[in-house]
Chains A and B, each alone.
Chain A
Amino acid sequence: MTDAWRGVLNVLLGAFAMAIFPLAAVIFLIWEARKVMARMQDRLGPTNAGTYAGPFALFQTFADAIKILTKELIIPTGADRGVFVMAPVLMVAVAIAVWAVIPLGPTGLQVVDLDIGAFYVVAISSLAPFSMIMAGWSSRNKYAEVGAFRAVSQIVGYEIPQVLSLLIPVMLSGSLSLQSIIRAQNVPYILVAPVAALVFFLASAAEVGRLPFELAEADSEIVAGFFTEYSGMMFGAFYLGEFINNLTASVIFSVLFLGGWRGPWVDQVPLLGIVWLMLKALLVFNVLVLFWAAMPRLRIDQVLAFNWKFLVPLGLAELLTVALVDKAMVTAGVTGGIERAAGLLAANLLLGLAVAGVLSQTSRSTRQRQSFRRPPVVHP
C-alpha cells in the first residue's frame, strides 16, 4: 500500500468519525429535548413505563430508531418517485456535510481547517432548501406543496441577516477559517458584538425551522408540511436532518460568538475542547428547546415582516456600526484589544437601546391606532 492510499484511508476514517459524531450527539439530544419540553409542559416525557429503556429512558431514541427501520416506505401514487426518494438523502447529506470544517478542538479534532470555513458553512447550507422543495413538489400533495413554499420563502429570506451578522466575527478576526476565528476570541464575540449575536441567533432559529418559525411543517395546519407523505425511515431522515441542523446551528453559534472550544485547561488536554464546545452548544440548543416549548407559531406575513423589517435592517445597522466604530477607534489610536472590545460593546449597547426605544414606540403607536378602530361600546 502506498503512502497516498494510506493518506486517503486516514482521511476517510476521520471523515467517518466526524460524520458519526453529530448522529450520535443527536440521538442523545432528541431524548434531552423531549425531556426538557415535557418538563416545560408539566409532563414526564419518555419514561420506562412500558419496557425498560435504560436509566431515565435514555435509550428511548435507540428503540425508536430501530422501530422506524422496520416500517414500510410508502411512496404515494402520482408522486415523482426519483425526486421523492432523493429529497431525504439530500437533507441528511447537507446537514452532515457542514461538519467538515467544524473545529471540535485545538488541533487534529477537525476534518479540514478550510481557509474559507465560514463561507463553506453558508454555501453548503444554502443547498438545504432544495430538499424541502423536492419533497414538497414530488409528493403531489397540497399540504406538502404549501409547506415547501413556506419553507423556501422563510429559509431563503433569513439567510440574509444570518450572513450579515456572520460577517462581524469575520471582520473582527480577519479570517474566514473557523479555527482562526476561535483563536482570535480572547474576548468572546458575544461580549464584543451582542447585537450581532442576537441577530445571528434569531436568524439561525428561523433557518432550522422550529417554533416560533415552524410554519413550514405546522402540524396543526398542514399535517407535516413538506414531508407529509413520507413514512418510515424517509420520515426519520427528515426528522434526523432537522435535529442535526439544530445541533449545527448551536455549534456554529458557539464557535462564532462563544469562543468555540476555548476554556480552562484546553492547552494541557486538547480533548477537553470537545467538552467545552459541546457544553456551550448544549446551552444554545436548550434555549432553542425552550423556544419550541414556549412560543406560538407565527403566520407567514409575520415571519416575513420579522425578517425584512427587523432582522435585515438591524443586521445592516450592526454591520455599519461595528465597521465604522472599530475603524474610527483604530484611526484615533485605540489599538489595544480590550479597549477596542469595550468601545464596540458600548456602541452595540447604544444601538440595542435605540432599537428597543424604536420598537416600544412603534408598538405603542400601533396599539393606539388599533384602539381607535375598536367599535364603540353600545349601552343597552
Chain B
Amino acid sequence: MYLGQLIFLIVGCVMVAAAIRVVTSHRIFHAALWLIASFFCVAIVYMLLESPFMAGIQLFIYIGGIAVLTVVAIMVTKDAMSADSRTVSNGWSAAIVAISLFGVMAWTIVQLDLPTEPGMPVSGDSLPLLGAALVDPGGYLLPFEVVSVLLTVVLIGALFLGREH
C-alpha cells in the first residue's frame, strides 16, 4: 500500500531525527522531550502495523509511565537541572559503545530466520485470545504470575528507598 509506506517513511524519519536530538540536545530536559517524540512515532508505527493495542501500550506505559518517570528523575537530580548542563562528557566512547551495540543487534536480526507467516492464525479480534492465553496453563501462565512478583519487588523496593533514613 503506497500511502502507508509514505506515512511510514515520514514517521521513520521523524523518529530517527528525534532520536538523534535525544543525544545531541544540550539541555537534558529537551533530550527527554525528544525521547517522548520518538516514543510517539513508535506508537504510530504500531498503528501502521494494525496493532492498536501495542500502540496504546506504547502511549500508556512508555510515555505515560516511563517517560514521566524519566522527566521526574531529571527534575530531582541536581546537576541535570542546572541551566545549561552539557549532557555529554565523553561523547566519543559512548558513541562507540552505541554503534557497536547497534551493529550486534542489527547483525542478529538479519541472521535470524524470522517467520513470514503468523505463528497463530487469528480471525477477527486477537486481543481476547491474548487475554485467554495469559491465564492458560498451557500458555503464558507462569510468566504472567512471575510478572506480578517482579512488579511487587519494584513496588516494595521503590518505597523502601523512600523511607525515612
User: Which residues of A does B touch, CB under 8 Å?
Assistant: 80, 83, 114-116, 119-120, 122-124, 126-127, 129-130, 133-134, 137, 145, 148-149, 152, 156, 159, 174, 176
Contact = CB atoms under 8 A, between A and B. Distances in A.
A176 B127 contact: yes
Given A115-B52, A115-B125, A116-B127, A83 B33 contact: yes
Contacts of A126: 59-60, 63-65
Interface stretch (B68-76, B106-114, B136-144): B68-76
Interface residues of B, number: 23
B60 A137 contact: no
B75 A149 contact: yes
Nearest to B76: A149
A127 B59 contact: yes
6 contacts: A127-B59, A129-B68, A130-B36, A134-B33, A148-B75, A149-B75
Given A116-B127, A133-B71, A127 B56 contact: no
Contacts, number: 61
Contact of B63 (A83, A119, A127, A145): A127
Contacts of B30: 83
B53 interface: yes
Contact of B60 (A80, A123, A149, A174): A123
Contacts of B127: 115-116, 176
Nearest to B67: A130
A114 B53 CA distance: 11
Contacts of A148: 75
Nearest to B53: A116
Contacts of B57: 123
Main secondary structure, interface of B, reads: helix
A80 B56 CA distance: 30
Interface of B: 27, 29-30, 33, 36, 52-53, 55-57, 59-60, 63-65, 67-68, 71-72, 75, 125, 127-128
Main secondary structure, interface of A, reads: helix
Contacts of B75: 133, 137, 145, 148-149
Contacts of A115: 52, 125, 127
A52 to B, nearest CB: 46
B52 A114 contact: yes
A174 B125 CA distance: 12
B125 A122 contact: no
B68 A156 contact: yes
A156 B127 CA distance: 26
A119 B56 contact: yes
Chain B CB within 10 Å, residue with most, of A137, A145, A149, A152: A137
A133 B75 CA distance: 10
Nearest to B43: A123
Contact of A120 (B29, B33, B56, B72): B56
Nearest to B32: A133
Contacts of B53: 116, 119
A149 B125 CA distance: 40
Nearest to B56: A123
B33 A116 contact: no
A99 to B, nearest CB: 16
Contacts of B59: 123-124, 126-127
A152 B56 contact: no
B87 to A, nearest CB: 15
